[in-house]
Amino acid sequence: SMLAATRIDIFSFLLPPYCVLFLFTFVYRIAALDVVKCVPHSCAIKGANGGFPTSTDGWFATVFSSGGRAFDKAVWPFLLVSANAVFWTVLVNASDDINPYRANIRLDKTYSYGLAFTLGLILSFRLNRSILRFWTAMNRWGDMVVTSRSMVSSILVHGRDNPYHRDQIVCWTAAISIALKRRLRQLDIESSELLGILTKEQIEDLKNSNNPPLYAANMVRRHLKQVMDVRPDMNHSPLSPARSGEMRQHEKYLDGLIHNGGNLESILATPMPLIYVAHIRSFLIIYLVSLPYLLGAAWEWSTIIIVPLIAAIYLGLEAASSEVESPFDKGRSNDLDLDLYCFTILKNVQQLVKRRNEKDGLL
């Protein structure tokens, strides 16, 4: 029994410093990886998410990945909660004056578990709302790709008799996605991304507009009117109703691009209500900070491990919610790869134009 008591004393003596060392090493590694790996995305290539694994890379690649978890959004709350747990645990277990009163500050387990369940439910609801915004943004960008493809494919066939305005429609349709990407990232238009698509004068006009995606869409509509305009000599021609039908169809494509762009801008401009987020974070911090005082007597030295673990779970959920709430930030591991969407649209346009030129004997 004496040997067992000695082992317990040695274990109690070594556990606190070991846990503190492990805790701060862990936090340092997380912060360092998030800073180093959050590099700008390369344009539309594999690994454009900054080198982080994806959800399809398997269990080992994702479970043991310390990067891409958005812990940098919760580092300071995590450090506060962990330091508080270490302070109180060492104070209670190392002081003979406080130690006899530990049994008087225990919290009923049923109440504790109910509180934790309620908090987990609220955080899950917040994460669900944020993922819904992410899912909506992803679908809208998918619609942008499909609608751009349909617009270009159709105008290349139906606008053959007016090649200048037809080509302008193709160019401005491609420019819509690039302008929208820059607007969602709250960046100015970069001329290098549009060279070869628009002229320098057109790029400057786009830069000087208040809403570049809407300006590009308006230019598409102007040139579309020139291509599909029914001239007076065509009033009694069978081509007149055909042109009107084609015009309506292309207007639907254009309205679809504008509609999807507007939905994406609304996601950027309307974050989660502040009152909801502030209440959850305040409640979360109060709960995590109070854990050592309420349950530390039962957990003893294990409090130094248990509290940071619980904090990592709850703060991780909150950080994940904040990360996917507005998935347009370049360089984050969980953002939508807007460069890839734009590259896909440009690649589709290039393929359609090349195929059309081959059929027309221009290549």
Q: What number of other Cβ atoms are within 10 A of residue 43's Cβ?
A: 13
Using DSSP's 3-state secondary structure scheme, residue 222 falls into helix
- What span, in angstroms and rounded, lies between the C-alpha atoms of 32 and 81? 20
Residue located via tokens 């317990």: 8
- Rounded mean pLDDT, 209-229: 91
319-340 confidence digits (pLDDT tens): 888 888 888 877 777 888 899 9
Q: Is residue 182 part of a domain?
A: yes
Q: Is residue 108 part of a domain?
A: no
Are the beta carbons of 117 and 189 closer than 8 angstroms? no
- What span, in angstroms and rounded, lies between the C-alpha atoms of 333 and 111? 38
Work out the mean pLDDT of the chain and round it to a whole number: 78
First to last CA, the chain: 92
Q: What is the pTM of this model?
A: 0.76
- Rounded mean pLDDT, 3-17: 40
Q: Residue 3 pLDDT > 50, yes or no?
A: no
The pLDDT-based confidence of 36 (bands split at 50, 70, 90) is very low
- What span, in angstroms and rounded, lies between the C-alpha atoms of 204 and 189? 9
Q: Is residue 189 part of a domain?
A: yes
Q: Is residue 244 part of a domain?
A: yes
Q: Is residue 347 part of a domain?
A: no
267-283 confidence digits (pLDDT tens): 998 888 888 888 889 98
Q: What percent of the chain has pLDDT over 70?
A: 74
Q: Is residue 260 part of a domain?
A: yes
What element of type H or E holds 113? helix 109-158
Q: Is residue 217 part of a domain?
A: yes
- What span, in angstroms and rounded, lies between the C-alpha atoms of 168 and 165? 5
Whole-angstrom Cα Rg for the chain: 29
Q: What percent of the chain has pLDDT over 90?
A: 35
- What span, in angstroms and rounded, lies between the C-alpha atoms of 318 and 119? 11
Q: Residue 28 pLDDT > 50, yes or no?
A: no
Cα dihedral 13, 17, 18, 22, rounded to 10, equals: 160
Are the beta carbons of 92 and 298 closer than 8 angstroms? no
Distances (CA, A) of 34 to 46, 201, 260: 19, 40, 32
The pLDDT-based confidence of 235 (bands split at 50, 70, 90) is low
Domain span holding position 217: 151-270
Q: Residue 129 pLDDT > 70, yes or no?
A: yes
Q: Which amino acid is at 348?
A: N
Domain tally for the chain?
Answer: 1
Q: Is residue 9 part of a domain?
A: no
